[in-house]
A and B are shown apart, each in its own frame.
Chain A
Amino acid sequence: MDTQLRPHAGLNQQWRQPQKVMKLARLGSAHQCRLSFMRTLLRQLKKERWQFKRSHWTIDQQGVGQAVYQAIGPVRTYSLVVFAHDLPDEMRSDRVIAQAWDATFTLFDGVPTVSDLARLEKNVPLQEAGRISSSEISLSRANRSVRLFSYVVDCLAGGHQPERSELENVGYLMRTTAVYGAGKFGAADRDLIWQREELSGPFRAEMLSVWLTRAFTVDLAEHMARVRGGSQAVLLNTELRRCLGVGNSTGLGMAPFLVNHPTLINNWIIAREEALARVRNICEVRSEKTARFKHFLDRATLNAEKWHSTHPLQAARILQLRSDLEKLKQYIDNFDFNIDKPLDSLYRWSEQYLSLEGQEQLAMLLMEPYPELVDGLTDCMIADETKLPMINGRMSVGEMRELLRLHYDWALTTDYTRDENRSRFWYVSEEKLEPRLGERFDEPGSELEQPLCIGWHVWRLYQALGTRSDSETLAAFLMQHPEFRHVARRAQQIESHPYMEIRDNLIASDMLPIDMLRLKLSFFGATRFDPRSDRWVRINMFQYAPFPDELLTMPDDDWAYPPLTTLA
């Protein structure tokens, strides 16, 4: 066959190439950046001068009751509706199979009436077992970090402030264990809201819900301190308060999202790679930008010092990151920023001398001084996924084989006849309808495998195409082999979506699901990744961010790394 190689229609040669970017090891070293969704949300709320108020509070002396937090924008109002519960310690579980939580939440579209609250009270505390409606945009729950929550309440009730180091070590008073959106359990479909400017970005509503949840966690602690300490009790100092984010505990449930939303993932990565290419291409870096970069490098260094994990892999990576940042700082001390394209030179140096953690951290730091080049790219991070792409059945079998050879060499060169290359299988648990990872050769159930092992499916498609005539149409082939429809449709997208595939074997015996989780969570803006196994991870969200009552008076988007003043 003599089909001519086609260039990658959607690929800009100045971006880091997909075969480098889309490997799990690098994706699993991802860091938040200016494009992360938490930062995008707060930039927008500040720019549009949103107002916030706690409009309803019936929490009693046991910490049980309701609260409503309104976010009032120029066009619409959204309300976080909170149900606080009295949860016995033995029922507190972060696992998705839990049935009760310290607090449950929904983000309501508008301002809820008394009858809305009555309806929600019957459903939101049940989470997956309840039903919400198209008036609700998200559904979530959170559990207390019991030790820190008690410590903070004790301190405030006694009339004194908690220690900063205690707050920073844990980092949150509550951690969410699931934040559902996009039509789950009857909630509003994304189609209903994505054209609203304030919610058009990915996960914007979920991030708003988490940010308001953070305000509630502190309000609840202060409330309990007042109950306990009466007039002696004090409020949490606003600078200390910012040391608290919202924790999150995430397991395998998030991993299939990355495979099932190829267009969206492609668009996220392209926005990030375009941002990086823009800053690397800057010919002359002005001195104030250099100073800004060095300032953020110091703060990233502080962040790495404060980042702890007991997971052996992550603990080693954090040590490596600290050493990388030290090496980078020394290199920069003697680095001449007056050369042509200095940031490009710096990045190239990192590829030679730093670990993947260090390289990715530097890449994200390079964007910090350049909001004018980076921030607008957030508008490119959405995708309409309500329609399936059509299969081009007029493509010939020969052309399809060529396309696979060109873009899926990473899959075609894997030997899937070997057990270790397909030793796992993804499935959905019957009890909680949650994604799980099974051992193909030790556990039953692989006949119910989910089609997440794209590499293996592509490999099998390629083998099957090899037995057919090059001139046959793909439509005719698929009529006889419908088992390849999904993967043929997918593969045809890759020319225009070069970053849509994780270019690794997602069912290999040594695959680390936490690498997949970190990719998505870093786009959210999460920090302090702390894997608790190879399958679930704890993170922090919105740590050091302004609270609703101070958003308008705090500097723009200056919170994603810890402030240097905490060195004192």
Chain B
Amino acid sequence: MIYSLNEIDAHCKKAARGAGFEWGYAEEIGKAARWLAAFDLPGIAVLAAYLKERDEHPELFCRPDVSNMAHIISRNSGSLCPVLTGAWLCDSAGTDTQASMQFELLYYPLLLVPFLAQIAGSIQQTLTFEYRSTRLQYSDGVLNLDNDADLGCRLWGGYRISWRSSRSRLA
């Protein structure tokens, strides 16, 4: 069945709420799924895996310790939750957004991308996000993807995020 973006947004928001997220996060998850679907990225499958694993092992998904915005690590011994991390980065976007950022271990990195894209829009910068063999660039509503083999990976470490001025549009 083919779903409209509006349905994806509504269903994913509902799924997130059902999985125990507060309304604000659930809204963000719905919009993130919608954004990924609009670019034909496998956001729903990754979201489903994420919600299931988080439901079974909530202790694995940690919120970020953000004392150093250039190097984002988890507050506990677990790994970073993409939604809590993405939402925090959005909340802090602006003067604190570093030109380049590194991440410790983070689950389901694809789910972080819509949050980063929203920041890119708000600070009018081009986003580059690299993990494993995946390299994503996003600017002015245009997404370039170099390699999608690892797009839906579960857990990875050593992410690199960089921002640069959007004045030169992506090729």
A77-101 interface (Cβ within 8 A of B): none
Interface residue count for A (Cβ, 8 Å)?
A: 34
B1-51 interface (Cβ within 8 A of A): 1-7, 21-25, 27-28, 31, 34, 38
Closest to A183 in B: B6
| A390:B122 contact, CB within 8 angstroms | yes
A42-81 interface (Cβ within 8 A of B): none
| B91:A131 contact, CB within 8 angstroms | no
Whether a CB of chain B sits under 8 angstroms from the CB of A141 is: no
In the assembled complex, which residues on chain B have CB atoms less than 8 Å from the CB atom of A388?
A: 27-28, 31
Whether a CB of chain A sits under 8 angstroms from the CB of B168 is: no
| B22:A482 contact, CB within 8 angstroms | yes
| A486:B91 contact, CB within 8 angstroms | no
In the assembled complex, which residues on chain B have CB atoms less than 8 Å from the CB atom of A393?
A: 88, 90-92
Q: Mark A467-478, 1 if CB is under 8 A from B, else 0.
A: 000000011001
Q: Mark A370-392, 1 if CB is under 8 A from B, else 0.
A: 00000000000000001110111
Closest to A191 in B: B5
- Give the distance to chain A from B85, nearest Cβ to Cβ, in Å: 11
Interface range for B: 20 to 34
Whether a CB of chain B sits under 8 angstroms from the CB of A189 is: yes
Most chain B CB inside 10 Å of its own CB: which residue of A185, A390, A451 = A390
A130-188 interface (Cβ within 8 A of B): 131, 133-134, 182-188
Whether a CB of chain A sits under 8 angstroms from the CB of B94 is: yes
- Give the distance to chain B from A115, nearest Cβ to Cβ, in Å: 17
- Give the distance to chain B from A156, nearest Cβ to Cβ, in Å: 41
In the assembled complex, which residues on chain A have CB atoms less than 8 Å from the CB atom of B4?
A: 134, 183-184, 186-189
| B6:A391 contact, CB within 8 angstroms | no
* A140→B16 CA distance, assembly (Å): 30
Whether a CB of chain A sits under 8 angstroms from the CB of B93 is: yes
| A475:B31 contact, CB within 8 angstroms | no
Given A393-B92, A474-B91; A183-B7 close (CB under 8 Å): yes
B83-101 interface (Cβ within 8 A of A): 84, 87-88, 90-96
| A483:B22 contact, CB within 8 angstroms | yes
* A133→B3 CA distance, assembly (Å): 8
In the assembled complex, which residues on chain A have CB atoms less than 8 Å from the CB atom of B22?
A: 482-483, 485-486
* A391→B93 CA distance, assembly (Å): 9
- Give the distance to chain B from A393, nearest Cβ to Cβ, in Å: 3
* A139→B95 CA distance, assembly (Å): 46
Given A386-B34, A483-B22; A394-B92 close (CB under 8 Å): yes
| A394:B3 contact, CB within 8 angstroms | no
* A522→B63 CA distance, assembly (Å): 46
Whether a CB of chain A sits under 8 angstroms from the CB of B79 is: no
In the assembled complex, which residues on chain B have CB atoms less than 8 Å from the CB atom of A394?
A: 91-92, 94-96
Whether a CB of chain B sits under 8 angstroms from the CB of A484 is: yes
Whether a CB of chain A sits under 8 angstroms from the CB of B126 is: no
| B24:A485 contact, CB within 8 angstroms | yes
Other-chain residue from A387, A475, A486, A487 in contact with B92 (beta carbon distance below 8 A): A475
- Give the distance to chain A from B120, nearest Cβ to Cβ, in Å: 12
| B6:A475 contact, CB within 8 angstroms | no
In the assembled complex, which residues on chain B have CB atoms less than 8 Å from the CB atom of A187?
A: 4
Given A186-B1, A387-B118, A393-B91; A485-B7 close (CB under 8 Å): no
Q: Mark B116-150, 1 if CB is under 8 A from A, else 0.
A: 00110110000000000000000000000000000
| A451:B23 contact, CB within 8 angstroms | yes
Given A189-B4, A189-B6; A478-B31 close (CB under 8 Å): no
Given A451-B23, A479-B63, A486-B27; A391-B90 close (CB under 8 Å): yes
| B93:A390 contact, CB within 8 angstroms | yes
B51-94 interface (Cβ within 8 A of A): 63, 84, 87-88, 90-94
Q: Mark A347-369, 1 if CB is under 8 A from B, else 0.
A: 00000000000000000000000
- Give the distance to chain B from A417, nearest Cβ to Cβ, in Å: 22
| B88:A475 contact, CB within 8 angstroms | yes
A540-567 interface (Cβ within 8 A of B): none
* A485→B23 CA distance, assembly (Å): 7
Other-chain residue from B3, B84, B118 in contact with A186 (beta carbon distance below 8 A): B3
Other-chain residue from A190, A191, A475, A482 in contact with B24 (beta carbon distance below 8 A): A482
| A182:B91 contact, CB within 8 angstroms | no
Q: Mark A184-213, 1 if CB is under 8 A from B, else 0.
A: 111111110000000000000000000000
- Give the distance to chain B from A228, nearest Cβ to Cβ, in Å: 43
Whether a CB of chain B sits under 8 angstroms from the CB of A405 is: no
Whether a CB of chain B sits under 8 angstroms from the CB of A16 is: no
Whether a CB of chain B sits under 8 angstroms from the CB of A308 is: no
Given A451-B23, A485-B24, A486-B24; A391-B5 close (CB under 8 Å): no
| B25:A482 contact, CB within 8 angstroms | yes
Whether a CB of chain B sits under 8 angstroms from the CB of A489 is: yes
- Give the distance to chain A from B79, nearest Cβ to Cβ, in Å: 17
| B2:A133 contact, CB within 8 angstroms | yes
- Give the distance to chain B from A235, nearest Cβ to Cβ, in Å: 40
Most chain B CB inside 10 Å of its own CB: which residue of A134, A182, A387 = A387
Given A451-B23, A483-B22, A488-B24; A183-B91 close (CB under 8 Å): no
Closest to A188 in B: B4
In the assembled complex, which residues on chain B have CB atoms less than 8 Å from the CB atom of A392?
A: 91, 94
Question: What 15 new A-B contacts, CB under 8 Å, besides A134-B2, A184-B6?
Answer: A183-B4, A183-B6, A186-B4, A186-B7, A191-B38, A387-B118, A387-B121, A474-B91, A475-B92, A478-B24, A482-B24, A485-B23, A485-B25, A489-B24, A489-B27
Instruction: Point out residues on A near B: beta carbons under 8 Å.
Output: 131, 133-134, 182-191, 386-388, 390-394, 451, 474-475, 478-479, 482-489
The 7 closest A-B pairs by CB, nearest first: A485-B24, A183-B6, A393-B91, A183-B4, A475-B91, A486-B24, A486-B23
15 contacts between A and B (CB under 8 A): A131-B1, A133-B2, A183-B4, A183-B7, A184-B6, A186-B1, A189-B5, A189-B6, A191-B38, A390-B118, A390-B122, A392-B94, A394-B96, A451-B23, A483-B22
Instruction: Point out residues on B near A: beta carbons under 8 Å.
Output: 1-7, 21-25, 27-28, 31, 34, 38, 63, 84, 87-88, 90-96, 118-119, 121-122
